[in-house]
Structure 1
């Protein structure tokens, strides 16, 4: 076994709201895991890297991503071939990692490309990309949110969704993504429109849980949020109109909430003269309600995760650090609690807490190196020339 000592660093390990000065840790070069850590005097290792008193913090885990979408085309990239989409997706993965995102969860991708890229990555064929938990295609009713060629299983009964979920799991889906409501980007439907039924979604949950996989529900308004909760999903994605009653149900059930603030914020911020007026209006009308509703859910104790909906209009794959800013400025989280949405809560949602999320012994050395203190200023994580390490090896 060969080892690497990282020394002379200011460590934010993701566990506490303290910076450990003059810190160090040692990684096993083969596994990429931390095998020892401490402060002041350090033991010997086969090689050492001096981080020159810079700040080290965990890499981000982003649990709501669409690597096959294109934030500049405004149509989700639906008109591209599989080859074009795959090349873009590979580049999007690299952009994620450069921004400090070391693990992503797919939340709906056309052609099952995230599943295929994960297989290639596992064979060492992809360079400078984060770890991937793929979802493959989403599950929607005919005419519902996400009803697009190559990106969705269309299901209109419990039997149809049962077979589709089994097919998705067979093909490699590690997350089942359901459409419980309409959405911002679909013409002709609205956040309050219920789509997949409780019975249909409960069937999907049962099939996924049989295989040990999680279920996420796109659920922006009601009654769809309530339907998804009653069906037993593991996470509510967006949840813009989550009520106090629903928040308490989420706490009791252990359901996570991924608010994707930047996706909703970016559309009225940048799209007024580019996007259809109906799309801008849907996002703008909901924005203040979103902040109030999700702030209340957070204060009540709902576990908030880090997801950006990357790939939606004006929402690039380098914007996870911006989501941290919105969590603090719009929801009132201190920086430490905003980072915990990623480091602890997102790892728990993905069932990867034993190896990812915080910088502890026995976990992967996935981290970013910053010039400024991220606990004092959340804007520190928006540094564009940060160093990014994956399993103890520098990628950027």
Structure 2
């Protein structure tokens, strides 16, 4: 068994609230997993890498991505061919990894492109890409959020949801994404518009759970958030208008919340003169309420995950570090708490916590190397020339 030792760095392992200076760990080259870890004197080994006093922390797990979307075109990619979409999605995967994201969960992608790219990745055909939990297409009502060709199963009854979800699972979906409300990017609907009903979503949740998979709901306002919770979804995506009562229900049910703050922030920040006024106003009008509502949910004890909604307007695939900044400055988290949204909560939501998320013995050596201390300055993770390792192998 050949091994590689990494030495001379300060470690934030994703679980402990403190850094460990003078750290080292050893990685099995065959499995990519950490076999030993410590501080001070390192065991003798033939192959070692000196990280020269820098800071090591886990790679990010981003649980809300749309790799088939282009944040510069603003149309969700509805007019692109499957070939064009696949090439762009591959480039987006590489951008995610370069930014320090070592595992993603798809949250709706045209042509089931994330399912297909995952298969190619497992065959060794894709280079410099993060691990993938694909969703494939989403599930929406006719005329609902995301209703356009190639990206959505249109479903208008519990039976239609049941059949479509079974088809999605057959195709390789590992997450079932249900549309509970309208959204920012769809003309003619609003965050407060309920869309799929409780019974419709419950049918999707049941089918997902039968296969051991999770179900997520796009739910920005009410009553859609409440409907999704009553349907038993595993995560609320966005949740901008989550109430105190709903937060209590989420804690009781173990439901996760993915804020995607950077997606809502980017539209009024960069969209003036480019995006339609109705779209900018939807996002801008909700921002202060979003920060207040999600901050309250966090302080109550709702499990917050790391997701950026990457692919929405101006929301490029290198923005996970910005999400960490917003979690601290807008929701009141410490840097450690923000990072643990990824290293602990996102890993648990994806049911991969036994092998991913934290840098502990028995888990994959997926990590990023930073010049500055990320616990002292949350903006340190936005470093553009960071080193990124996947299973102990340097990718960037």
- TM-score for the superposition, normalised by structure 1: 1.00
How large is the Cα RMSD of the aligned pairs?
0.4
Whether 2:364 is the aligned partner of 1:345: answer no
Distance 2:22 2:291 in 1: 38
Unaligned runs of 5+ in 2: none
Whether 2:355 is the aligned partner of 1:355: answer yes
**Pairing of 1:240-255 with structure 2 (within 5 A):** 240-255=240-255
What's the secondary structure of 2:16's corresponding residue? coil
Whether 2:182 is the aligned partner of 1:182: answer yes
Distance 1:333 1:148 in 2: 37
Whether 2:171 is the aligned partner of 1:171: answer yes
* Deviation digits for residues 336-386 of structure 1 (CA, Å, limit 9, x no counterpart): 000000010000000000000000000000000000000000010000000
Distance 1:371 1:328 in 2: 20
The equivalent residue for 1:43 is 43
* Deviation digits for residues 192-242 of structure 1 (CA, Å, limit 9, x no counterpart): 000000000001000000000000000000000000000000000000000
CA contact (8 A) 1:7 1:24 kept: yes
Distance 2:45 2:175 in 1: 39
**Pairing of 1:205-216 with structure 2 (within 5 A):** 205-216=205-216
Distance 1:148 1:241 in 2: 26
**Pairing of 1:202-281 with structure 2 (within 5 A):** 202-281=202-281
**Pairing of 1:1-396 with structure 2 (within 5 A):** 1-396=1-396
What's the secondary structure of 2:116's corresponding residue? helix
Give 1:262 shift. 0.4
* Deviation digits for residues 100-137 of structure 1 (CA, Å, limit 9, x no counterpart): 00000000000000000000000000000000000000
Give 1:36 shift. 0.1
CA contact (8 A) 1:5 1:44 kept: no
Regions of 4+ moved over 3 Å: none
Distance 1:46 1:106 in 2: 39
Distance 1:288 1:150 in 2: 34
Unaligned runs of 5+ in 1: none
Counting matched residue pairs gives 396
- TM-score for the superposition, normalised by structure 2: 1.00
Distance 2:314 2:380 in 1: 22
Distance 2:343 2:76 in 1: 28
Give 1:79 shift. 0.8
Distance 1:272 1:151 in 2: 27
Distance 1:95 1:70 in 2: 12
What's the secondary structure of 1:96's corresponding residue? helix
What's the secondary structure of 2:236's corresponding residue? strand
Give 1:272 shift. 1.4
Give 1:76 shift. 1.2
Distance 2:361 2:334 in 1: 26
Give 1:45 shift. 2.3
Distance 2:372 2:289 in 1: 33
